Amino acid sequence: MNLLKTDHIQRATNVAQRLFEEQMLVITPKDSMLHKFNAVGTFIWQFLERSHSVEEIVQGVQKHFDTNDEEAVSQDVITFIEKLCEKGLVSLKSE
Amino acid sequence: MDTLAQSINREASQKNIPLSVFIELTRRCNCTCYYCYQQSLQQTKELSLEQWQQVFSQLKSAGALYLTLSGGEPFVREDIFDLLKEAKKQNFAVSLISNGLLISEVVAKQLKDFTVMDVGISFHAAERDLHDRLSGMPGCFDQAKKAVTWLRQEGIKVVLKHSVSTENFGQFKALQRLATQLDCAFECDCTVLPDTPGTASNYSLTVDQYKEFLTYMGQDSAGCSVDDDQAALHCDAGRSLCGIGPNGTLYPCIILPVPLGNVTESSFMSLWEGDLANSFRKNEKSLSKECTLCALKVHCSRCHAVALLEGHSWQGKSHSLCARANALQQIGKQKK
């Protein structure tokens, strides 16, 4: 999939999750598998409590982790969001 | 190597985070299963939907992720879908345990909308007549099979659950095949809780039966390292797991009747960090010397609840678990 910076991302509603020692535990609905996100993944997941565009997520990560490397952050965010999409944890929100 | 789930559970156990909570919503049931310890217990007041909503919120704050909803039969509660809705709102991973009698095609479809990870359906036997007799409900076997089929049609994971006893010994083989046919997982256990305190259940297996069962299931150890004395008799009860009864009584484990207080009288966290819970955790270090010095310790599937129900103390020994440890030792010797 090719995500655009203007694409809006929303979390799936039937996802079990819990913040565990500052890291997010998430269970994928398709296969009931447990996943643990790192600090950036945890931030993005919590940021997506409300739907945001890819661009807004990138800006949010830059601000939160105090980094100016937009290209690297952008690539990491897109890779992460694509994985979340594959696992049914998020989807593209139609405008 | 540890799976992620095992590693998270170990961390939760070390930090006393109640990751898994087993809730008995009711003691009411539409079956009268032959071994059910709940039948000897008094019916009790049940927490209302509003009370459970508060408890779920407190459990979420305490770090709980996995919620098992059982009974009795959980589907006899008319507000079961409201409870599931609340569990979804609080982002719990829910497991249901049921006899399947009240799971229709419509119910199976509805369950798909919640955060239900799996539904465990109890099977006493792979033979219709035997299952119906042991559940005390004619037609139970056929309905349970239909429930499994409908749940699987909706893509919901189903676990075929089986308690092995002297009454249905040998059925585990056919049930394992049935689970494969019905495209569901299979879990069976040979721990039978006594309905009369102070004695092992009449349905507990003999050493030879344990050997046959454990060999068939490919289990040749209790799962602990031979040189790990500490782990051998440890249980996560009261640490990474706990249980709450229909009236709100909190237990270290749902089958271990050592009350830690009631969640309708105090908040979950004040009970979890309170004197009774801390005292229970501390007392695990002073198990009976019969157990701590036992040569079969590394083969022991220690369960404080079984020890308490079969004897007089949860720190004491259990005759049925000793028989099981004996069987595991003999299996180990034969393999060598």
- Give yes or no for A14 touching B (CB within 8 A): yes
**Could you tell me which chain A residue has the CA closest to the CA of B117?**
A32
- B8/A36 CB distance under 8 A: yes
Token readout for B95 is 């497991």
> Exposed, middle or buried: residue B282 (CB in 10 Å: 0-12, 13-18, 19+)?
exposed
- From chain B residues 19-48, the ones with a CB under 8 A of any chain A CB are 19
**Could you tell me which chain A residue has the CA closest to the CA of B115?**
A14
Token readout for B134 is 């042991």
The answer to whether residues B24 and B245 touch, using CB atoms and an 8 Å cutoff, is yes
Consecutive H or E run containing B61 = helix B49-62
Residue B224 in this model has a pLDDT that exceeds 60: no
Probe site for chain A from B88, B96, B117, B154 (most A CB atoms < 10 A):
B117
Identify all chain A residues contacting B157, using CB atoms and an 8 Å cutoff.
32
- Give yes or no for B10 touching A (CB within 8 A): no
- pLDDT tens per residue across span B317-328: 888 888 888 888
DSSP-assigned letter for residue B256: B
Q: Which whole number is the average pLDDT over B195-205?
A: 81
Identify all chain A residues contacting B17, using CB atoms and an 8 Å cutoff.
20
Please report, rounded to a whole number, the percentage of residues in chain B having pLDDT higher than 90: 66
- pLDDT tens per residue across span B169-189: 999 999 999 999 999 999 998
- Give yes or no for A49 touching B (CB within 8 A): no
At B179, the amino acid letter reads A
- A20/B88 CB distance under 8 A: no
Helices (H), B122-192: 128-135, 140-153, 171-181
- Give yes or no for A22 touching B (CB within 8 A): no
DSSP-assigned letter for residue B303: -
Residue B102 in this model has a pLDDT that exceeds 90: yes
Closest CA to B243 of B218, B267, B268: B268
> Before B71, cis peptide (omega within 30)?
no
According to DSSP, the β-strands at A34-36 and B93-98 are unpaired
CA atoms B91, B157, B10, A47: torsion sign:
negative
Token readout for B38 is 């709940």
At B28, the amino acid letter reads R
* Strand partners of residue A9: A52, A92
DSSP-assigned letter for residue B124: S
Q: How distant is the Cα of A62 from the closest Cα of chain B, in angstroms?
A: 28
Give B335 or B331, the one with higher predicted confidence. Answer: B331
- Give yes or no for B64 touching A (CB within 8 A): yes
Size of interface A-B (CB pairs under 8 A): 48
Instruction: Using 70 as the pLDDT threshold, list the residues of chain A that sit under it.
Output: 95
Beta strands in A1-95 (DSSP E): 8-11, 16-20, 23-27, 34-36, 52-53, 90-92
For chain A, domain boundaries: 8-88
- CB nearest B92 (choices: A16, A21, A32): A16
Consecutive H or E run containing B109 = helix B105-111
How much is the pTM? 0.92
- Give yes or no for B65 touching A (CB within 8 A): yes
**Could you tell me which chain A residue has the CA closest to the CA of B8?**
A20
Mean pLDDT is highest, among B101-105, B225-229, B318-322, for B101-105
CATH topology of domain A8-88: Arc Repressor Mutant, subunit A (1.10.10)
B220 band by pLDDT with thresholds 50, 70 and 90? low
Q: How distant is the Cα of A11 from the closest Cα of chain B, in angstroms?
A: 12
The answer to whether residues A90 and A84 touch, using CB atoms and an 8 Å cutoff, is yes
Give B128 or B207, the one with higher predicted confidence. Answer: B128
Token readout for B157 is 């994971």
The answer to whether residues B169 and B205 touch, using CB atoms and an 8 Å cutoff, is yes
Taking the C-alpha atoms of residue B85 and residue B314, their distance in angstroms, rounded to an integer, is: 36
- pLDDT tens per residue across span B57-96: 999 999 999 999 999 999 999 999 999 999 999 999 999 9
pLDDT averaged over every residue in chain B = 91
At B231, the amino acid letter reads A
> Exposed, middle or buried: residue B75 (CB in 10 Å: 0-12, 13-18, 19+)?
buried
DSSP-assigned letter for residue B138: T
**Could you tell me which chain A residue has the CA closest to the CA of B60?**
A18
Q: Taking phi first (over 0 means left), then psi (-120 to 50 degrees means alpha), and beta for anything else, what does residue B139 get?
A: left
Residues written for chain A: 95
At B254, the amino acid letter reads I
Closest CA to B108 of B57, B178, B157: B157
